[in-house]
Amino acid sequence: MTDSSLGTANEHQIVNPYLLELRLLTRNALHLWGQLRRHPTALLGLIVIILYVVSAIAAPFIAPYDPTEQNLMARNKPPFWAEGGSLDHILGTDQLGRDLLSRIIYGGRVSILVGLLATGFSVLVGALLGSLAGYFRGRLDDIVSRFADLLMAFPFLIFAIGVMSMLGPGFSNLIFALSFKGWVEFFRLVRGEMLVEKTKEYVEAARAVGRSDLAIIFSEIAPNIFHTVLVLATLRVGHMIVLEASLSFLGLGIPPEIPAWGSMVAGGRVQLLVAYWISTFPGLALALLVLSINLLGEGLRDILDPRLKLQ
Amino acid sequence: MLEIKGLRTVFPTSKGEVVAAKDVDLTMEPGQIIGLVGESGCGKSVTMLSILRLVPHPGRIVSGQVLFFGEDLVKKSPLEMRRIRGKEIAMIFQDPMTTLNPVFKVGEQIRESLRIHGIMSEQAGSWPWGARYRLQAERDKVIQLMEEVGIPSPQARYHEYPHQFSGGMQQRALIAIALACEPRLLLADEPTTALDVTIQAQILDLLRRINETHGTGIILVTHDLGVAAEFCEEIVVMYAGQIVERGPTDEVIQRPLHPYTRGLLRSIPRITREKRKLEPIPGVVPDLANLKYNCAFYDRCDAALPKCEHDELELRDVGGGRLVRCVLY
Amino acid sequence: MNARNWRILALLLAVLLLTGLLAVGCTPAQEEETPGEEEQQQEQAGEEVSEPELETLRFVLDTESFRELEAQAIAQQLRDLGIDVQVKVWEWSALKAKIKEGERLAYLTDWGSAFFDPFDLGVPKLRTGDRGNYSFYSNPEFDELMVTAITTADEDVRRDAYFRAQEILKEDAPWVFGYYMKAVEASSVDVQNWEPSMDSRINLHDVSLASGDTIVVGMATDSILSLDPASSYRDRETETVIRNMFDGLVTRTHDGKVVPELAESWDISEDGLTYTFKLRDGVYFHNGDQLDADDVVFTFEKILGLGAFADTEGTSRAGLIRPSGVELTVEKVDEMTVRFTFSKPFPVFLQGLVHQQIVPRDYYLEVGEEGFGKAPVGTGPFKFVSGKLDDQIVLERFDDYYGGSPDLPPVGPAPIKRAIFKMVPEPATRIAGLKAGELGIVQAIPPDLIASLEADENIVVKYVEGTRNYALELNNAKPPFDDIRVRKALNYAINWELILDEIYGGLATRLATAFLPSGFGYNPDVEPYPYDPERAKELLKEAGYATK
Amino acid sequence: MRGIKVLERILATIPIMVGIAVIIFIFIRAVPGDPVDLMMGEGGYVSEEEMEAMRKAFNLDKPVHVQLYLFLTQTLRGDLGESFLKQVPVTDLILDTLPATIELALGALVFAVLVGVPVGVISAVKQNSLVDRVSMAGSFVGISFPHFWLGIIGILIFSVTLQWLPTNGRLDSGLSIEHITGLYVIDSLLLGDLELFWNSFHHLILPSATLGAAVAAMIARVMRSSMLEILRQDYVMLARAKGLSEYRVIVRHALRNALIPTVTVVGLQTGVLLGGNMVVETVFGWPGVGRMVVQSIYARDYPVVQGAVMLYAFTFVIANLIVDILYTYLNPKIEL
């Protein structure tokens, strides 16, 4: 990397280390942004993601209708270009006559959150346990690995049905059900990478200069396996939202008043034969978001992975 | 045998086009050993890959000729090129650990070269007996090759996987692959860099023996002027994609002309009793996408003159078989 | 990749996560936040109206997923009145358990009636402490009337008791009374002489085909439970398959009248305690055995846990034939006559008997219960060929069929040669199968899909009055619904007409109480609560709740 | 040597199985619901005494630890008990439904590999080309739409509109097949009945594609990225320098290396294919274990749920073992 010059200016001064950190962060962020700007697909992904986030935040201002406002007299109305549709409801209405576009806009809030939180918890727990288990091995590794094996062998939907029946429906229960198994994948990945990385020279070197094990794990090894985790995590965000839909298919999703893409896709399945839009458009919104997240993720990997760079 | 004229290979990057090999000229006689020397990233490897037309995407050769026995390789069709690779011109790579395919047996990887160039088919006759005969012939040949490059108990090691080989043995196996079709030119891209010093010497020895017994021409790419001095008849020094100096080995070592060559020589540690101060060349290799001066070495040069900044530079023949690219001459 | 870049990424992710959180933080009117908002509104309202003692009525409306839309529409209407209602979708078994523990307040439930008599709604759903009494309703007078109605032979007395019971129910308003629905079934135009039946058991004996000789029925279930009428099962899908392989003593027309089948005739004693059935002569099982009284006695002893089965508990079908606390014995009078004797009158016995088919004694004993389930043998119009409970059951015409009930023409062997019951649990797939011509008859068609089927000229859609009661039950044992004013207010507050017309396409009809019009003793003078939001608000205000 | 190690691995699954058994036993009982009450359905009369007697018959009246003990000892004897709902031994139910599930999972796996691997390879070789972009965008549709959506849309297009493929079931109505392995596609071939083979194959296509779509997408993505990495490796350069054709370089030298991470993904996904098929089985009326389990959970049919989940776990472990064995062939550095 060419940023060996970045730290030099501060090396001879004694500065507040946090300030230094912050300065480095902003400088690096700017640097990263500079590279990102020249990466068309990643930039596209980023723009779409920003659009999604902005529209989610600004939903009350953008959405033409209240997403919960029902109009039983105008149920299952098609989108404007189809026969019987009108510009009043650009993407049509759902089974209760709610404006589909508004629901999709609002749905982004919960769906993004479901995807991020469920994946976030999975990564957090999985990566933490995985790095500790992979680095230290020993009893911790044995126990957690066995437990992970157990969970892997346990069919997810059965578990989810059980949890949702036991705890009752609800947002936090859903997140719990989704991430309860999600972490295993990250655990396995990180543990495997850890086993490989810890034999490498730079770890030996860090150990030789007397860095503590935890420091080695989190500031030496973690950065090296980060991009692998990142790629899997981006994929998982979409997957989690889809799983939420599968739970809704079984009647166990998010509370129905909260619009969420997954449950919208599931809720429209009976009408799929006569009113495809109820199910399809939320699904497309989801697909586009996942696509963008992945474009960004891959772009970041291109930028940050030194192997792709020219000597 | 080989004549490179004005070869120019570029890589488009987000920062602009990088000229990795810039107007490279080189001639070589059959059986000759040439050393191509320079720091990392100076375009040595790209030049080698350009000869074989294997410059990785998105790099490409934009101009110049690579004449091999009078035929221009740059203009060859992919199929013709494939017939030349491995058969006429073989290459040995820098890191034997990563160059052997981990999932195939070493012997099979050597045999593959024989197989695809049909080396043994003449003796083999027609199918179905031929197929079996040829397989046996190929195996025998592989074992013979392994013996030749100094792999002990080749019968057994034929069936081993690369990870069961030591680094030196892996490099020997790679040399065996390169030798399989008795090429007339061997491109050795830092063949000893990844190896221990004692193994280095053995491998160089092996290469020299091959040169002597088979008359194979060798281009040895190395960043180690010492290795080149010991091994080659002629030395070519590259800097920032350009050849900066070329000449017979002894001449170049005794009387380096280009300031860069001088710098290189000064930075080599030697085993002597007297303590001598090492003098590294100050600064780093410039950004190839962003060359500020006409002479790429200008800002690191200890003999820089004001005119270096803008004067036209070319590789000048200064007599005695020596060429140099510097305003001083 | 080095540490610094890693930090950038961490920062980036953190920013993303934060924005996400922010996004949701902005979401208004969600589960947790609504109360706060409502409180604010209430505060404002309090200042204006200066009636600080009024609080917002707040509860969670529980439902199964198939009534989610309805639940949301109801919630919306109640919210418009200023009641704070949240919908929760549950898995039924878990919800049921929680309801029975008294943990829930309001829930959409449904209950089917098999007897064309309100006793199997009135008793389990509303008698004090009974099994299906999810509302914890308790009224001694009502309980008394139910006992009278189900243990008296005199129809007039029973009718009077039911009439009065309905008046009491309306007055007590233990539930928000709901509706019953037409069942929608469809067939290909090739299928002739088929009428959907009120008890939703498909009778293929009478059906004929314009072309071909095989009919495939798409069943709305993952799996039927048994092929043995003397085992335990209580679902209509299993009954449908079994009733095409087996005949019972009596059967029912598709509009609910009991007619003879294996029994030629029967006598009921004056006191209503003994039923004597004369069996039809010349009825053969699929294996060639002739039907006689032993088979009938054997079947009922197995179900009731009598005679040879005295050490067993019987099967779950016993509850269809006699009420608990009533003794029932079965005896053979002669080869062709069987007598049932009750300790107390059970006036709806014949309606229950419709659901019970007869198994061959000797064969059953020979192959055992498990063997019988794998290779069932009955007296019905079709005999078992092959199949699995969760896949498809293939039946073939029984050529020596005696002809079936003379009241259900045509009489004689079935016109079609093969009948296949295929399990197709997903509604969209059932419809697709019907459209693609793979299925001949399908049941349980979602209202939204009717129009597309009606438009298809190869498909005939048929409707039949349903026998399920759909309601919004309230927990009468807990505040706020221990207050009759609140319960009544909710009965006035919901615009059922709109919901039923729009969500259920006009297939549903409002009910005044828990009793169905198709059942015995329906009181036409008891009218449903009208939609009267003003009255609802008054009642709520009286009970101390704020309204909009 | 390998045989012994495989045996060792199978034996090592026993603690996992016991763990699963205990977890599922406790778990399913912690979920609220009363199996007896649910069994009794509605209508008619059922007294509390009758229900109590039923509970007794199912051992549900005993304390949980006694039930657990009974269950474990019974299971060790190879007896999984009898379904509350269908009054049939659980073993029979599972043996009946398992082949359908395996057939579907294998079909999906084959579909995923046949689609995912070539797409991934072509995308990597033609990096950033139109083909690459289209197939990678396509892979997000595979990942982003849940099974039931893909399934119903598939039925709508291929069954109702085009009438190419059947909507549900494993064979046309009324057809049946002698069970040898229970996998109809294989059985029909063993019986030499091509018509049945075609019929069962026909029925398998749409459900497999639906179930396999997400995995195919995942394989394509992993394949692409590992292929991109492999194509930068020195040994690929060496293969080219040897004079190999590009096709041979990719198929022989790069593909096999790139398959290694893909096999890991496939291994992880077998769990998804086996355990995630309930939705697909429901949509396509496929009489497999998944549907039975969901029905049994809803009915609180404890013995069936217990038995089926243990079976899932076992199949999963075996599938992973197969993946590991495959791994040793693909990557000589790894030993079992």
- Cross-chain Cβ contact A32/C8 below 8 Å: yes
Contact A87, A80 (CB under 8 A): yes
Whichever domain contains D119, its CATH number is 1.10.3720.10
Whether B11 has its CB under 8 Å from any CB of chain A: the answer is yes
pLDDT at C114: 81
Whether A44 has its CB under 8 Å from any CB of chain D: the answer is no
Bigger pLDDT: B251 vs C248: C248
Provide mean pLDDT across the span A226-230.
77
Q: Which residues contact C68 (CB under 8 A, 6 or more apart)?
A: A251, A256, A267, C87, C89
Residues in chain A closer than 8 A to D146 (CB atoms): 242, 245-246, 249, 262, 265-266, 283
Chain A with chain B: Cβ pairs closer than 8 A: 8
Distance from CA of B13 to the nearest CA of A (A): 9
Q: How confident is the model at residue C35 (pLDDT cuts 50, 70, 90)?
A: very low
* Per-residue pLDDT reduced to its tens digit, A76-92: 889 988 888 888 888 99
- Please state the domain count of chain D: 1
Residues in chain B closer than 8 A to A38 (CB atoms): 14
Write the DSSP assignment of C101-166 as a string of letters.
TT--SEEEEEEE--SSSTHHHHHHHHSTT-TT-TT----HHHHHHHHHHHH---HHHHHHHHHHHH
Which range of residues forms the domain containing residue A134?
Answer: 15-310
CATH C-level class of B1-88+185-281+321-329 = alpha beta
Chain A residue with minimum CA distance to B11? A310
Question: Residue C16 above 80 pLDDT?
Answer: no
3-state secondary structure C223-269: CCCCCCCCCCCCCHHHHHHHHHHCCECEEECCCCCEEECCEEEEEEC
Residue with tokens 């109809």: D184
- Cross-chain Cβ contact A112/C23 below 8 Å: yes
- Cross-chain Cβ contact D238/B85 below 8 Å: no
B220, β-bridge pairs: B35, B188
Whether C428 has its CB under 8 Å from any CB of chain D: the answer is yes
Q: How confident is the model at residue C31 (pLDDT cuts 50, 70, 90)?
A: very low
Provide mean pLDDT across the span A272-301.
83
CA dihedral A45, A51, A54, A58 (to 10 degrees): -160
Bigger pLDDT: B81 vs A10: B81
The answer to whether position D239 is within a domain reads yes
Contact B66, B80 (CB under 8 A): no
Contact A97, A48 (CB under 8 A): no
All chains having 3 or more CB pairs closer than 8 angstroms to chain C: A, D
**pLDDT by residue, tens only, chain B of 329 residues:** 888 888 888 888 767 788 888 888 888 888 889 988 888 778 888 888 888 888 887 788 888 888 888 888 888 888 888 888 888 888 888 888 888 888 888 888 888 888 888 776 665 555 556 677 778 888 888 888 888 888 888 888 888 888 888 888 888 888 888 888 888 888 888 888 777 888 888 888 888 888 888 888 899 888 888 888 888 889 998 888 888 888 898 888 888 888 888 888 887 776 666 666 667 777 777 777 677 777 778 777 777 777 777 766 777 788 778 888 887 77
Interface of C with A in 447-486 (CB under 8 A): 448-449, 451-452
Question: Residue A213 above 60 pLDDT?
Answer: yes
- Please state the domain count of chain A: 1
Contact A289, A281 (CB under 8 A): no
Report how far residue D231's alpha carbon sits from residue D1's, in angstroms, rounded to the nearest whole number: 35
Touch between chain B and chain C (3+ CB pairs, < 8 Å)? no
CATH superfamily to which B93-182 belongs: P-loop containing nucleotide triphosphate hydrolases (3.40.50.300)
Do B1-88+185-281+321-329 and B93-182 come out as alike in CATH topology? yes
Interface of C with A in 17-46 (CB under 8 A): 17, 19-24, 26-31
Report how far residue B297's alpha carbon sits from residue B244's, in angstroms, rounded to the nearest whole number: 10
The answer to whether position A217 is within a domain reads yes
Report how far residue A52's alpha carbon sits from residue C446's, in angstroms, rounded to the nearest whole number: 35
- Pairing label, strands C459-465, C441-442: unpaired
Report how far residue D270's alpha carbon sits from residue D267's, in angstroms, rounded to the nearest whole number: 5
Residue C422 in tokens: 């295929």
The answer to whether position D308 is within a domain reads no
Report how far residue D289's alpha carbon sits from residue D270's, in angstroms, rounded to the nearest whole number: 15
Residues in chain D closer than 8 A to A273 (CB atoms): 152, 156
Residue B26 in tokens: 């080189």
Chain D residue with minimum CA distance to C427? D283
Number of CB atoms found within 10 A of residue B70's CB: 7
Question: Residue D111 above 90 pLDDT?
Answer: yes
Q: Closest by alpha carbon to B42, among B228, B267, B326, B286?
A: B286
pLDDT at C40: 44
The answer to whether position A1 is within a domain reads no
Provide mean pLDDT across the span A172-183.
86
Residue ranges of E strands in chain B: 2-13, 16-28, 33-37, 60-68, 71-72, 89-92, 185-189, 217-222, 234-239, 242-248, 316-319, 322-324
Report how far residue D303's alpha carbon sits from residue D82's, in angstroms, rounded to the nearest whole number: 6
Residue C386 is inside which H or E element, if any?
strand C382-387
Chain C residue with minimum CA distance to A273? C428
Burial of residue A199 (CB within 10 Å: 0-12, 13-18, 19+) is exposed
Interface of C with D in 89-108 (CB under 8 A): 91-94, 96-98, 100-101
Residue A103 is inside which H or E element, if any?
helix A100-136
- Residue of D161, D173, D304 for testing the chain C interface, max C β-carbons within 10 Å: D173
Whichever domain contains A33, its CATH number is 1.10.3720.10
Number of CB atoms found within 10 A of residue C537's CB: 20
Q: Which span out of A297-311, C398-412, D46-60 was modeled with the highest average pLDDT?
A: C398-412
- Cross-chain Cβ contact C6/A306 below 8 Å: no
Report how far residue C150's alpha carbon sits from residue C345's, in angstroms, rounded to the nearest whole number: 7
Chain D residue with minimum CA distance to B178? D242
Contact C244, C205 (CB under 8 A): yes
Report how far residue D226's alpha carbon sits from residue D217's, in angstroms, rounded to the nearest whole number: 14
Cα–Cα distance list, B55 to A173, B59, C55, D236, D298 (Å): 55, 6, 79, 13, 62
Write the DSSP assignment of C518-541 as a string of letters.
TSTT--TTSPPPP--HHHHHHHHH
Q: Which residues contact D157 (CB under 8 A, 6 or more apart)?
A: none
Cα–Cα distance list, A163 to A239, B205, C202, D28 (Å): 19, 70, 37, 10
Touch between chain B and chain A (3+ CB pairs, < 8 Å)? yes
* Per-residue pLDDT reduced to its tens digit, A127-159: 999 999 988 888 888 888 888 888 877 777 777
Report how far residue C471's alpha carbon sits from residue A32's, in angstroms, rounded to the nearest whole number: 60
Q: How confident is the model at residue C338 (pLDDT cuts 50, 70, 90)?
A: very high
What SS3 class is residue B214?
A: helix
Burial B306-320 (b: 16+ CB within 10 A, else e): eebeeeebebeeeee
Whether C368 has its CB under 8 Å from any CB of chain A: the answer is no
Residue C216 is inside which H or E element, if any?
strand C214-219
Facing A242 at nearest CB: one of D19, D144, D229: D144
Q: What is the CA radius of gyration of chain B?
A: 21
Number of CB atoms found within 10 A of residue A14's CB: 7
Report how far residue A104's alpha carbon sits from residue A259's, in angstroms, rounded to the nearest whole number: 7
Q: What is the CA radius of gyration of chain D?
A: 24
The answer to whether position A174 is within a domain reads yes
- Cross-chain Cβ contact D238/B100 below 8 Å: yes
- What is the distance in angstroms between the CA of the first residue and the CA of the last residue of chain A? 10
* Per-residue pLDDT reduced to its tens digit, D291-315: 888 888 888 899 998 888 888 888 8
Touch between chain C and chain D (3+ CB pairs, < 8 Å)? yes
Residues in chain A closer than 8 A to B11 (CB atoms): 310
Bigger pLDDT: B137 vs C207: C207
Identify the contact set of chain A against chain B, taking CB-CB distances under 8 A. Answer: 35, 38-39, 310-311
Q: Closest by alpha carbon to D283, among D115, D166, D182?
A: D166
- Cross-chain Cβ contact A235/D143 below 8 Å: yes
Write the DSSP assignment of A167-207 as a string of letters.
H-S-HHHHHHHHHHHHHHHHHHHHHHHHHHHTTSHHHHHHH
Facing D242 at nearest CB: one of B94, B98, B116: B116
Report how far residue A258's alpha carbon sits from residue C23's, in angstroms, rounded to the nearest whole number: 14
The answer to whether position A285 is within a domain reads yes
C272 — alpha (psi -120 to 50), left (phi > 0) or beta? left
